Amino acid sequence: MNALKRKEWLKHLETSNAFRRFSDDAYDYELENLVKDFMLRFATKLSANSIVVDLDCAARSHWEYLSELDLKILGASDKQHENEGFSFDDCRILSASPDEFNFVNAFDGILSLRFFEGVFPEYWSRTLRKLHLSLKPGGVVFLLNAVSEEGPAYENFRDLRSRGLPVVMGEFINEQSSLYSFRPLADWARHWIAGAGFFVVQEAEKKEFLFSLVKR
């Protein structure tokens, strides 16, 4: 794969209207219960007046599970999502892209529900490290990441490469909607999470999703 070609392709995705948008399909009953379980476990690690960042406000529909705590919840988004008509009612926005955080010891918790599905693989390690640094010591993160099984991921990789797209394994392009998503193998995600310095408190893998409650 030509590195320059991939760099140009990523730049095109970054400036296109479909950049880094993924399916927002509702979770089924089993997955929703698991999301609830991890949200409640996340909440037990926080105290009143904790500052929590919700990446892209993607966990907003699950905030009810945190309602008994007096938390300060902020959203983090780049301007592109706002320009796409993304609704952020009830979510105060930090004017910073989460993959370019420059905060240090600022937050008690971070919610990342499928945010990394829209992060290019080249930036996973850097983004996770920045999130790690932005947490106060002992801070917690609930990561929900879409992951792939090796066989289907490789078949998709071969198909997209045959069409001339400079993808890496785990990158998916929806032909009908032109939406991009990156779903690494679960072990890749675990490696990047651990490499950023996070300690895993609880983990579950269900229906091509990796649930991770981690701590700084």
Q: Measured between alpha carbons, how far is 121 from 168 in angstroms, rounded to an integer?
A: 8
Report the interhelical angle of 124-134 vs 186-195 (nearest 10°). Answer: 40
User: What is the per-residue pLDDT across 114-170, written as a single tens digit (0 to 9) for each?
Assistant: 999 988 999 999 999 999 999 999 999 999 999 999 999 999 999 999 999 999 999
Token pair for 174? 């929806």
Q: What is the pLDDT of residue 95?
A: 60
One-letter amino acid for residue 109 of the chain: G
Q: What is the pLDDT of residue 23?
A: 52
pLDDT given for residue 96 in this prediction? 59
Task: List, run by run, the mean pLDDT of 10-residue segments along the chain (216 residues).
Answer: 80 67 66 94 93 86 83 74 44 61 91 91 94 96 96 95 93 80 96 97 95 98
Domain boundaries in the chain?
51-145+185-215
Write down the pLDDT at residue 85.
42
Class assignment of domain 51-145+185-215?
A: alpha beta
pLDDT of res. 77: 72
Contact between residue 203 and residue 143 where contact means Cβ atoms under 8 Å apart: no
* pTM for this predicted structure: 0.87
Q: How far is Cα 180 from Cα 21, in angstroms, rounded to an integer? A: 6
Residue 211, pLDDT score: 98
The reported pLDDT for the residue numbered 159 is 94
Residue 66: its pLDDT value, please?
86
